[in-house]
Amino acid sequence: MKIIAIADPDTALAFRLAGIETLPVARKEEAAAVLKQAAERPDMGIVLITQGLARAAGKQFEEVSHERHLPLLIEIPDTRGPIEKRLSAAEKMAAILRR
């Protein structure tokens, strides 16, 4: 299983330097398509996606995170820091387990 990061070009650079494969997204309008591309890869285990791009992917993000077992989606802050009022990964997992 592979790990990939979907991020803006600056954040993606940091992940590439750490040896993690990235899918840089220059425009937020591309986020849903790039996420779909990553989620359909059979070798994908974990997708790290910046909070802003997760929000921009909207319905596609919700579909992948709630209707599929893999890949596991993890929202991360970008180079500007976390977005306020977004649920943390732990809070999201608790919400999923309550369903």
| Entry field: residues in the chain | 99
Given the candidates 3.40.1370.10, 3.40.718.10, 3.30.43.10, 3.40.50.10580, the CATH classification of the domain at 2-98 is 3.40.50.10580
Give the residue with greater pLDDT, 59 vs 65. 59
Phi, psi of 49 (to 5 degrees): -135, 135
Structure tokens at 56: 């921009």
Please spell the DSSP secondary structure of 4-44, one letter per residue.
EEEE-HHHHHHHHHTT-EEEE-SSGGGHHHHHHHHHT-TTE
The reported pLDDT for the residue numbered 1 is 86
Rounded Cα–Cα distance for residues 26 and 45 (Å):
24
Write down the domain spans for the chain. 2-98
Centre a 10 Å sphere on the Cβ of residue 28 and count the other Cβ atoms it contains: 13
Instruction: Kindly tell me if the per-residue pLDDT of 79 is higher than 90.
Output: no
pLDDT of residue 88: 63
Residue 37 pLDDT: 92
What percentage of the chain reaches a pLDDT higher than 70? 85
